[in-house]
Structure formats: C-alpha cells, structure tokens
Chains A and B, each alone.
Chain A
Amino acid sequence: MCNAKFCQRRGIRHRVLGRLLALWVLAWSHAAGADEAQTLHLPAADPMSPSRSLAIHAALDMPQATPLIKAFHRHYPQIDVRYRNMSTLELYQGFLRDPQGVDVVISSAMPWQFSLANDGHARALAPKTLDHWPEWAQWRRELVAFTFEPVVMVYHRKLTDVAKPPTNHARLLSLLQEHQDRLRGRVATYDPAESGAGYSYAMEDARLSPRYRELVAALGGVKANLETTTSRMLEGLASGRYWLGYNLLGSYARAFVDRHPQLEYVIPDDYALVVQRLAFIADEAPHPQAAERFMRFLVSRRGQQVIDRDTTLGAVHPAVVDRSAQQRASSHSALRPMELDPQLLAALDRLKRRALLSRWQRAFQQGKASPAIAE
C-alpha cells in the first residue's frame, strides 16, 4: 500500500484502494472485540498535583495490557496513566492525524510501526535504557520489541483420529496432501487478502520456505477456511468445527488452549515465525519523561517478569526468559523473529501486496481445482 500519510494528504486519491486498505488493516488487530472502545485510566496517587501524565495508545487487548499497566502504575503512582486499546488501523491513522496527542504507541503491526519510525515519528530512547536489551529487539533505539509471540498451529484432539498431528511445516504439507478428503473444510488459516497479520505471515513464509507454494496449494486442496482473526479460528477449533488451525498468533492461542483441554498447541520445529509488539515514544510526545519511564519499565526485569507471569505475550529480557530460552535452544532453535529492518517496509508496498496476493491466490485456487496428489 502506498504510504497512508500521503493517501490522506492527497484526500484519498484511490477510493477503492482506501477501502481495501481499511478492510485489510482492520484485521491486524487480533482482539476479540476490536470495536469496543477499551480504555483504562489509573489516576495519579496525589490528585492535587496531576503534574505528570502519560497517554498510551496500543493494539494490545485489555486482559494482556491491564496487568502491565497496573504494575507500572504501582511503580510510579504519581503518574496519571491513560491507556487506550484500539485496532492497528485506528492506531496508525489516529497517530498520523494527531502525532502530539499520544506518548507511547504499541502495536503488533510491525510494518506500520516500522514505517512510522522510519519516517522519523519516533523519539530515540536514552542510551542507558536499552543497554541490556538485545540488539535484534531494537531499531535505532527508537523501536523496541518487548514481546515474543510465536505463530503456531493449534489442533483439535479429533485430528489424532485421522493422523499423527503435524510438528512442522513438512509434516503439515504431507498431512494435508495425504488426507485431503478427510480434512476438507476442517482446516482454518488466515486470509492474507483480508487480514494484515495473515498477509505478513504469508510474506514471511514465502521468504523462509521454498515449498510454501505447495503448502498453499495443499491448503487450497483441503478447501481451507480463510479467517480474519485468531480468535475466530480458536472459536471454530473449540467448537470442533475445525480440526487444525495454521498460523495462529501464539500469545492468544496459548491462553485459549489452556482453558480448552480438547485443543493442542504446536510450535513448528523447522521454523516458527515470531511476532513482536513494537513500542515507541512519539517524537512530539507531550510527556516524554513519563514515556521514557514507561519504556524503561517495559524493558526492565520487573516489567518483563509481569509479561512472563501475568500475560501470554512472552518476555524478551534475557534474564527473565532464561528458563524458556533454554527450552527454545533445545527444541525450538527454529524460532524466527521477524527482523526489525527495512525489509518490513516491503510489506506496505501496494504493488508488492498485489503481486504476493495474486501468487497466493493462484496457488490456492490451483490446489482447490486439482485432485489430491497420490502418494
């Protein structure tokens, strides 16, 4: 897509494109109820001197955000915190409309966040704030990746009746190809055309795996259902309508699977995409000091412990994730965080999107049309 800033400036030249954009980006949000306006206000402990306040706009659901914000406020009770959860598109457009109205912006739409920072909308953090922070989880000291959310597969126990559940992409491909008839309509994945998250996973998959085209064809072969959010896929899986979900956002899936014993959660062991929430301080933030405090809290041991313990987002801090890092090293050396570099910008390119989607759809339709490949 063209830079949304310009679309706006020019009064949305392409109306059709604009609507496409809206549809697409709306789906970046994985929130169950993205349309509910969700806010959290923690007033300063001493209301007589509301000298310091902090406005956080985020695409991060309330159940995940609340423990984090509350922990921060316990730490800095003198700061008046206003948290607002919204969809990634609202967040992005709202920020461009009023870049002075917010201090901290948090979103999992990595290309959008990167694009904002690339255009100079983010303020660099103090050098010592990120001293201990891994190099791969920051960009120019402006963008900070503070969560670690693998993209996973989730299956219903019914799947085990049919075949051994897949543990990686190759097994998934052969499973889909071998049991095309039994699995018809039982598989769900993101619709890359409708969901921003789905699109960026498709792009990464295509980059990482040369056999991704076959996988898309196989998904087409089982007439996979194309969903727009992780929650809708999880609901379908819980109800038994779907047996297998591919490319679900792990942070939501983990909590859901914990509550639903009929579901299982698989992190592929050949490669697994990892999405990270990116946070930055707006360049024209009205309260840069409070914002810096918040960012410091996000990357601090304390903040990361809250993320590790009270949310399913996954911590990044090397000291906090020590245990799970060992696990990662042993079983999931294949975790591939989406790199924080200008490659992300390609995801926003209008023509790139058209090229990728047309290839994807061609493969998907081909799979639908052709019969199962006999093994």
Chain B
Amino acid sequence: MTPAKSLYGRLLVWLSLPLIALGSLLFTQAWRDSRAAADHAFDRLLQAATLSIAEQVQWQDDELWLDLPPAALQMLSGRDQERVFYTLVDDSGRYITGNARLPAYAGSRSPEADTVVYQDVQWLGMTVREGIRPTRLEGWQNRERFTVRVAHTREGRQRLAGDLWWNSLAAILGMGLLSLALLLLAVRAALAPLTRLRHAIRSRHPRSLSPLTLILPGELAELRDVINQLLARMRRVRTNQERFIGDASHQLRTPLAGISARAELALRQDSPEQWHEALSTIQMTSERTGRLATQLLSLTRLDNPEYAPAPERLDLNGHARQALHEHWPAFHQAQVDLGLDSADQPVTVKATPWLLDEALNNLLDNARRYGADRVTVRTLSAPPAIQVEDNGVGIAPAQRRLALRPFHRLYDDPGGSGLGLAIVDSIARHHGARLVLDDSEQGAGLCVTLSFANAAE
C-alpha cells in the first residue's frame, strides 16, 4: 500500500505540504531579517568610524587637514579581518586623502549633514559596504563642508547573518519537527475510530448479519448505518432464499411422494393393465416434476445477481408470431381460441431472445390453463410492449402482487407450479421492463402487459 493511497498517508501529505511551504517562507524571511540585523549592527561601526575621522578634520594652511586616527580604521576590521577603505573629499567632491577613492552616495536624495548613509558598492572587484558622512568644520571663521567615506568588506556581516540565521533555523526546524510529531499523533487519533470499525467488522462471525452497534463519530456513524442497511437487506434476501428453498423442496417432494406411492400400489397388484395405468400416471407426474425442476432452475439463474445475459435488438412482432406458432397446437387441443394483434410497424426493443421467449411461453401457458376460451397476443409500439389478454376469471387487484411471488397459487391446479408469473416478473426486472397485471378490456379476464417503456435502449 503506497502512502498516497492510504488515508493516513494522504492526510500526512496534505497537512505537511503546506507546513513545508510555510517553513520555506519562514526560512527566507529569517535570512532577510538576519541580513538586515547584521547590517544594522555593523553599520554602527561605519557610523562610529566616520565620526571618529570627521572629528579629526581641521582647517590648516588653507586646506582641509586630517590627522587620521588609526583606531578608526581598526574598529572596522574585527575578528573577520575585513579589508578597510577610507576617503576624505571636500565640498566639491575633490579627493583630499584616503587609501581608496570610494564612490559618492548613489541614492537619489543627497544625504543630510551629519547623517550617515550606507550603500553596497563594488570596489576593486569586491563587494564592500560604504558609510558616507557629509559634515562640516565647526570652526569660528571656517565652516567648510566635507564628506568622510569609509567602507569595509562584508565577511563579518556575513558571519553574523549566518549565525543569526542558523539560530532561527534551529528554532524553525525544531518547531517544524514538533508540529510534525503532533500531526502524526493527531492523524492517528483522528483515524482511530476507523480502525475500531475495521476491527469490529473483521472480528464478526462470518455468518452473522446482525447490525453493528459501535459508537462512532458522525461521519463514520453514517458509514455504520449504511453498512447496517446493507446487512438488513442481506438478512431479507437470506430469509427469502430460505423460504424459496423450503417451498421448492416441498414442491418437489409432493410429486415424488406421489410417484413413490403409486409405484408401491402398483407393485402390490398383479394385473398388467393396472401396471400400465400406474406407469402412465408416474410418467405424467415425473414429466410435470421435470418441468417444475426446469422452471426452478431458470428462476434461480435469473435471481443470481451475477447472471448478466447479453441483450440484443429484436422485433417483438416476430417473437409474438413464433410463440403463437409454437403454442397453437396445445391451444387447439384445449379448444382455446388464440389470436395475434400485432402493431403495424416492427417494434424493436433490446432484450435477450431466449428470456423473452420464456416469458411469452409462461404467459401463454397460464392463459391456456386459466384463461377460458379466448386469448389474444398483442404488440404495441408506443411504448414498446407485448400483451397477453384472456377472457378468464382474472385476478382480483388485491391478489395481483401475491401472484408474482414464487409458489403462490391462485388456483388449485395440479398441473401448475406457481412459478410462471414469478419467472416473468424476474425476466421483466432483468430487462428493466415493467410487468403490469390488469383487467382485460373485455371486462372479465386478465391482461398482462410487459412494457419496455423504461428499458434502457
């Protein structure tokens, strides 16, 4: 499991990314602050040096005169042994003395008297910090203006800035690590209910479908409720399945018991006519039992949620006609009138052919058995639908829902299985079609409509 795919990892990544971004921002800000602080501290040295030099400037022999105090130069060069430069210029900017010709202040505003201004300049290929003090003589007669410029290289400033930065770096790093640790704890604590839920689900008995009774925070409580709903549905499904299995075994046991009894009876008799009669009864019963088993099989197959038949486009008219053709002999024998009322144009739907045929078979079979003497198969084009209508006794509205349940028999008929409509209903659901039981238009009788109105095209 890669970290990005686990919830824990995702939380960590999305919480620590902003933390890291914030941290880098703090780092750069700390670097700027450290530089500014170092410059501030060292600029005071430039200020002191310019003052110390300016105090020694006098007027002598009609020119500016400087008795350079060596200490003024020394104070600019500390532990880092910075290079030192100084220049004295007069009012017009003419060089008086100095070991360098430092440039004038480059700022737009000319600095005020006795205020030191600073600038970074390039001198002899080195970056130096220059302090410039414009001032004037404090004599009685002569108040000549002059400017003292001193500069030194930046080693000391860089070291101080580096030291300051390292200090704040350590603080920021420490804080970052602390918040990361807290983050880990927080994420772990926040995800703890999820772990509890997982443990609760894992430690359940595999066959248990009882609801979860865990106390969980809001978001997870929702999840728990959804799981509980799913479990409830599974319980219902299981109950249905168990009933179905019970019903099915019951249905199969009854004819088998009949066969067994009839065979036993026949064995006690000696007459071949009686044997013959028993055998034909047994044959009829086992035929019916066989059909019942086939129907159970197809119903089970349809009820299997994994079963996904491949639908194809087909014409309802064609299938109706074929079904009519196949059932006509049986209807004829039972003396039931079977007719087709097909739509003018082809009615195309998307369906699985054999399932559609199975549905029609069941509907026609039912109609033949219970539908008096007149049955009509009808196809409709808008919406696409197929109808089987008879003029029998019909089904009372209250019974119509029950009629769809397996093994629910409305008539006491030994030949019926009680599965026919359940199978049709199942097929309809498979196709997303609607099965409607209604009164026949002729008043009496049943009209079953398989409507593909909402079926996915």
Contact = CB atoms under 8 A, between A and B. Distances in A.
B80 to A, nearest CB: 9
Give 7 closest A-B pairs by Cβ, nearest first: A343-B70, A342-B73, A346-B70, A342-B84, A355-B67, A352-B68, A351-B66
Interface in A200-221: 207
Contacts of A348: 99
A349 B100 CA distance: 11
A120 interface: yes
B124 interface: yes
Nearest to B101: A6
Contact of A120 (B76, B98, B124): B124
Contacts of A6: 101
Nearest to A343: B70
Given A6-B101, A118-B84, A349-B68, A343 B73 contact: yes
A350 B97 contact: yes
A343 B71 contact: yes
B397 interface: no
B76 A346 contact: no
A3 B85 CA distance: 11
Interface string B93-112: 00111111100000000000
Interface in A311-356: 341-343, 345-346, 348-352, 354-356
Of the listed residues B69, B73, B124, the one surrounded by the most CB atoms of chain A closer than 10 A to its CB is B73
B221 to A, nearest CB: 68
B81 A351 contact: no
Q: Interface size bucket, B side?
A: 20 to 34
A53 B86 CA distance: 38
Given A342-B84, A355-B65, A207 B70 contact: yes
B298 interface: no
13 contacts: A3-B100, A119-B99, A119-B100, A207-B70, A341-B73, A341-B77, A342-B70, A349-B66, A351-B66, A351-B67, A352-B66, A352-B68, A354-B65
B99 A351 contact: no
Contacts of A355: 65-67
Contact of A351 (B74, B96, B126): B96
A20 interface: no
Q: Is the interface of A mostly helix, strand, loop or mixed?
A: helix
Given A342-B83, A343-B71, A346-B73, 20 more contacts: A3-B99, A6-B101, A115-B99, A118-B85, A119-B83, A120-B83, A120-B125, A120-B126, A139-B81, A140-B83, A342-B70, A342-B74, A342-B76, A342-B84, A345-B86, A346-B70, A351-B97, A352-B66, A355-B66, A356-B67
Interface in A1-35: 2-3, 6
Interface string A108-122: 000000010011100
B81 A140 contact: yes
Contacts of A140: 81, 83
A2 B88 CA distance: 11
Given A120-B126, A349-B68, A341 B74 contact: yes
Contact of A119 (B77, B97, B98, B124): B124
Given A2-B97, A120-B126, A345 B84 contact: yes
Interface of A: 2-3, 6, 115, 118-120, 139-140, 207, 341-343, 345-346, 348-352, 354-356
A348 B70 CA distance: 11
A139 B83 CA distance: 10
B128 to A, nearest CB: 11
Contacts of B98: 2-3, 349
Interface string B185-197: 0000000000000
A343 B99 contact: no
Given A115-B99, A341-B77, A346 B68 contact: yes
A238 to B, nearest CB: 36
Given A3-B100, A345-B84, A351 B125 contact: no
Nearest to B75: A342
B157 to A, nearest CB: 16
A151 B76 CA distance: 28
Of the listed residues A2, A115, A118, A356, the one surrounded by the most CB atoms of chain B closer than 10 A to its CB is A118
Contacts of B101: 6
A361 to B, nearest CB: 15
Nearest to B64: A351
A119 B98 CA distance: 13
A10 to B, nearest CB: 10
A9 to B, nearest CB: 10
Contacts of A346: 68-70, 73
Contacts of B81: 139-140, 341
A119 B97 CA distance: 16
B66 A345 contact: no
Contacts of B67: 351-352, 355-356
Of the listed residues B66, B69, B83, B124, the one surrounded by the most CB atoms of chain A closer than 10 A to its CB is B83
Nearest to A138: B81
Contacts of A115: 99
Contacts of B100: 3, 119
A345 B99 contact: yes
A88 to B, nearest CB: 17
Contact of A345 (B73, B95, B126): B73
A244 to B, nearest CB: 29
B61 to A, nearest CB: 9
A118 B86 CA distance: 12
Contacts of B65: 351, 354-355
A283 to B, nearest CB: 10
A138 B59 CA distance: 38
Contacts of A349: 66, 68, 97-99
A59 B87 CA distance: 29
Interface string B49-72: 000000000000000011111110
Nearest to B67: A355
Contacts of A139: 81
A237 B151 CA distance: 47
A207 B67 CA distance: 13
A3 B100 CA distance: 7
A60 B76 CA distance: 32
A345 B99 CA distance: 7
Contacts of B86: 345
Contacts of A350: 97
Contacts of B73: 341-343, 345-346
Interface string B345-375: 0000000000000000000000000000000
